[in-house]
A and B are shown apart, each in its own frame.
Chain A
Amino acid sequence: MNSDLNTLYDEIPQLKEKVMIDFINGIEVNDDLIRLRKDVNSGVKSRIWQDMTGETHDRQQQIDQNFQAGLYATSKWLQVIESNQIKSDLVIERVCFKLAETRQGVMKLKSAHLELKGQVESLFNRFDLLGDKFSKLESKLHECDSGRLATQQMEAVFDKWMAGGFNAYPWLVRLYLVLDELYWGDFGFFCRQFTDNNIEIERLLEQVKNKSIINLKEDMRVVGMLPEQVFSWQEELEKGVKSLNVDRINALALLTDYGDERSTPISWVFHRYLANQTIGNSSIDSVPYIFNAENIVEHMARNFKGRGAYER
Chain B
Amino acid sequence: MNAKVGLVLSGGGAKGAYQVGVMRYLAEVEMEVHAVSGASIGALNGAVIAGSSNSRDAYLKLHELWMELAKEPPLKINGIYVGSYLAYSILMGASRLSPVSVLVLKMLRKQGSKVAGIDDFGLIKESPIRKLIDKYTSYETLSKGLPLYVSAYKTEGTFSDIKGTVLGILGLSDTKESDFFHVQSFSEDKQQDVIFASAALPLLFEPQEIESEHYSDGGLGGWKKSQGNTPITPLIEECGCSHIIVTHLTDASAWNRYDFPNTTIIEIRPKIPISKESQVKDLLNFKASKINELIEQGYEDAKRCIGDVKVAVDLQAKSQQAISRRDDALAILDDDFNI
B34 contacts the other chain (CB 8 A): no
A58 to B252: give the CA distance in the assembly, Å.
11
- In the bound complex, residues from chain B placing their C-beta under 8 Å from that of A65 are 256, 258
A109 to B267, CA, bound (A): 62
Chain A, residue nearest B274 (CB): A32
**Complex Cα gap A25–B304 (Å):** 10
Flag whether B98 is at the interface (Cβ < 8 A): no
Closest to B305 in A: A28
A36 touches B256 (CB 8 A): no
Cα–Cα distance between A199 and B326 once the two chains are bound (Å): 83
- Quick one: closest B residue to A33, CB to CB? B252
Q: Is A95 an interface residue (CB 8 A)?
A: yes
How distant is the Cα of A54 from the Cα of B170 in the complex, in angstroms? Answer: 8
Q: Which of A93-147 contact B (CB under 8 A)?
A: 94-95, 98, 101-102, 105-106, 108-109
B254 touches A18 (CB 8 A): no
- Are the CB atoms of A36 and B330 closer together than 8 Å? no
Q: B291-319 CB contact bits vs A (8 Å, 1 = yes)?
A: 00000000000001100110011001001
Q: Which of B252, B264, B313, B334 contacts A37 (CB 8 A)?
A: B252
Given contacts A21-B309, A52-B170, A53-B171, contact A29 B257 (CB under 8 A): yes
- A305 interfacial contact with B, CB 8 Å: no
Assembly CA distance A163 to B339 (angstroms): 81
> Does B72 lie at the interface of the complex (its beta carbon under 8 Å from any beta carbon of A)?
no
Q: Counting CB contacts under 8 A, is A69 at the interface?
A: yes
Are B267 and A35 within 8 A (Cβ)? no
Chain A residue contacts of B224, Cβ below 8 A: 58
Find B264's partner among A21, A27, A109 (CB 8 Å cutoff): A21
| Pair A31/B269 contact, Cβ less than 8 Å | yes
Indicate if the CB atoms of A18 and B333 lie closer than 8 Å. Answer: no
**Are A84 and B337 also in contact (CB < 8 A) when A20-B313, A32-B252, A59-B252 are?**
no
- Would you call B266 an interface residue if the criterion is a C-beta within 8 Å of the partner chain's C-beta atoms? yes
- Is A36 touching B316 in the complex (CB atoms < 8 A)? no
CB-CB under 8 A from A58, the residues of chain B are: 224, 254
Residues on B with beta carbons closer than 8 Å to the beta carbon of A94: 330, 333-334
Task: Count A-side interface residues using an 8 Å CB cutoff.
Answer: 43
**Is A88 among interface residues, defined by CB-CB distance under 8 A?**
yes
B270 interface residue, CB < 8 Å from A? yes
Q: How far is A248 from B257 in the complex, measured between Cα atoms in Å?
A: 136
Contact A25:B251 (CB < 8 A) given known A94-B330, A98-B333, A102-B337 = no
Is there an interface contact between B337 and A14, defined as CB atoms closer than 8 Å?
no
A238 at the interface (CB under 8 A from B): no
How many chain B residues touch the partner (CB < 8 A)? 39
A55/B337 contact (C-beta < 8 A), A28-B308, A36-B252, A69-B258 known = no
Name A107's closest neighbour in chain B (CB-CB): B339
Whether, in the assembled complex, A76 has its beta carbon less than 8 Å from a beta carbon of chain B, the answer is: no
**Interchain CB contact under 8 A, A14 and B267:** no
* Contact B313–A32 (Cβ < 8 Å): no
Q: Is A16 an interface residue (CB 8 A)?
A: yes
Q: Which of A1-29 contact B (CB under 8 A)?
A: 14, 16-18, 20-22, 24-29
Q: Are A54 and B264 in contact (CB under 8 A)?
A: no
A28/B252 in contact, CB under 8 A = no
B138 within 8 Å of A by Cβ?
no
A14 contact set on B, CB distance < 8 A: 242, 264
Bound: A54/B224 CA distance, A:
10
Which residue from chain A places its CB closest to the CB of B172 in the assembled complex? A53
Residues A22 and B257 in contact, CB atoms below 8 Å apart? yes
Q: Which residue of A lies closest to B269 (CB)?
A: A32
The answer to whether residues A21 and B171 also contact, given A35-B251, A36-B251, A108-B339 and a CB cut-off of 8 A, is no
The reply on B323 being an interface residue by CB < 8 A is yes
Min distance, Cβ B317 to any Cβ of chain A, angstroms = 9
Complex Cα spacing A28 to B126, Å? 39
**Residues on the B chain within 8 Å of A22, using CB:** 257, 264-265
Q: Does B281 contact A (CB under 8 A)?
A: no
For A25, give its contact among B254, B309, B330 (CB under 8 Å). Answer: B309
Distance of A95 Cα from B332 Cα, bound (Å)? 11
Contact (A17, B339) CB under 8 Å given A59-B252, A84-B323:
no
A30 CB to nearest B CB, Å: 9
**How many whole Å from A178's CB to the nearest CB in chain B?**
76
B271 at interface by CB-CB < 8 Å = yes
Whether B169 is near chain A, meaning CB under 8 Å from some CB there, is: yes
The smallest beta-carbon distance between A49 and chain B, in angstroms, is 9
CA distance A98 to B273 in the complex (A): 60
B326–A91 touching, CB < 8 Å: yes
Looking across the interface, which residue of chain A has its beta carbon closest to that of B315?
Answer: A20
The interface residues of chain B lying within 8 Å CB-to-CB of A39 are: 273
Which 10 A-B residue pairings sit nearest by Cβ, starting from the closest? Answer: A36-B252, A53-B171, A105-B339, A32-B269, A54-B171, A18-B264, A33-B252, A24-B312, A28-B305, A65-B258
Residues of B within 8 A of A (CB): 1, 169-171, 224, 242, 248, 251-254, 256-258, 263-267, 269-271, 273, 304-305, 308-309, 312-313, 316, 319, 323, 326, 330, 333-334, 337-339
12 contacts between A and B (CB under 8 A): A14-B242, A14-B264, A17-B1, A17-B264, A21-B264, A21-B312, A24-B309, A26-B257, A31-B269, A59-B252, A62-B258, A95-B330
